[in-house]
Structure 1
Amino acid sequence: MWRVTYHSGTGVVEAVFGGELTPEELRAAVETTIDTARRHASFLVLADCLELQGGHSLFDLYALVDFLQDSGVPSSFREALLMPGAGRDWVDGVEFWETACLNRGLAVRIFSDRDAALAWLQE
């Protein structure tokens, strides 16, 4: 399950991920997130991974990092990843996503607190 919502009051595009997502579902969610950001000219993204259970591999994530970089997101792109603490199998994947994006010059950061994540996006 996934959904993407634009919050006009904050200018934040929120992508919520839940359950197990296949590689195809994850790619569709990322594409929709980027399309929504373009449509609203706001590249501040809150990725809520609190209910995510996995379903995709590190290779799938690496391909998505390539896709994100190739999509031409502007330098104003920022993504705050909201996730619970350690202890879930997929946490390594989210940490990999953060590192791979940072290595490509994309501003991505992991948070466990929604308010802190939103504050960072608004800096």
Structure 2
Amino acid sequence: MPYTIKAPEGQGCLRLTYEGEVTSQEILDCLTKTIAMAAKTGNFKILADCRRMTGGHSKMVLEFVASVLAEKVPPAGFREAVLLPDAEERKDFAEHYERSARELGYEVRLFLEEGEALDWLLK
């Protein structure tokens, strides 16, 4: 599986880690599982580590992800810090997702450094 979802004890957020090619269906599966885990734990602060993601999906899918999020999770209390992919061409995809989610009222920010991402996410 090209992603993992964890709720590390004491970290105060859910952690998604993506590896390699992540298909559109895998992105949607991850979203469904993340929403379920967030609802179960009551924690809607998410650190999405995309540094090792290399592709496999489209910008249109990322727009759809933002719209599904809007359908299932109210913006209040939701925050997502995205660690940018290493691949330069994938950064544009992350920026597209950030814009789409923010247009729907969600707090989503992009980061290069994990420490900065966690500082923002947990404040």
Q: TM-score range by the shorter chain?
A: over 0.9
Rounded to whole Å, the distance in 2 between the matches of 1:64 and 1:122 is 23
Which amino acid in structure 1 is aligned with residue 82 of structure 2?
L
| Identical-pair percentage | 31
User: Is residue 35 of structure 1 aligned with residue 36 of structure 2?
Assistant: yes
TM-score, structure 1 as length reference: 0.93
Q: What residue is the counterpart of 1:101 in the other structure?
A: 101
- Structure 1 unmatched runs, 5+: none
Q: What residue is the counterpart of 2:112 in the other structure?
A: 112
- Structure 2 unmatched runs, 5+: none
Whether contact under 8 Å (1:54, 1:89) holds in the other structure is: no
Rounded to whole Å, the distance in 1 between the matches of 2:70 and 2:120 is 21
Whether contact under 8 Å (1:17, 1:50) holds in the other structure is: yes
Rounded to whole Å, the distance in 2 between the matches of 1:52 and 1:73 is 27
Rounded to whole Å, the distance in 2 between the matches of 1:17 and 1:31 is 15
TM-score, structure 2 as length reference: 0.93
Which amino acid in structure 1 is aligned with residue 112 of structure 2?
S
Rounded to whole Å, the distance in 2 between the matches of 1:40 and 1:72 is 14
Aligned CA RMSD, in angstroms, stands at 1.3
Rounded to whole Å, the distance in 2 between the matches of 1:73 and 1:42 is 13
Rounded to whole Å, the distance in 2 between the matches of 1:53 and 1:15 is 15
Q: How many residues align?
A: 122
Q: What residue is the counterpart of 1:46 in the other structure?
A: 47
Distance 1:67 1:54, change over 3 A: same
Flag as ranges the 4+ runs of structure 1 deviating above 3 A. Answer: none
Q: What residue is the counterpart of 1:121 in the other structure?
A: 121
Which amino acid in structure 2 is aligned with residue 13 of structure 1?
L
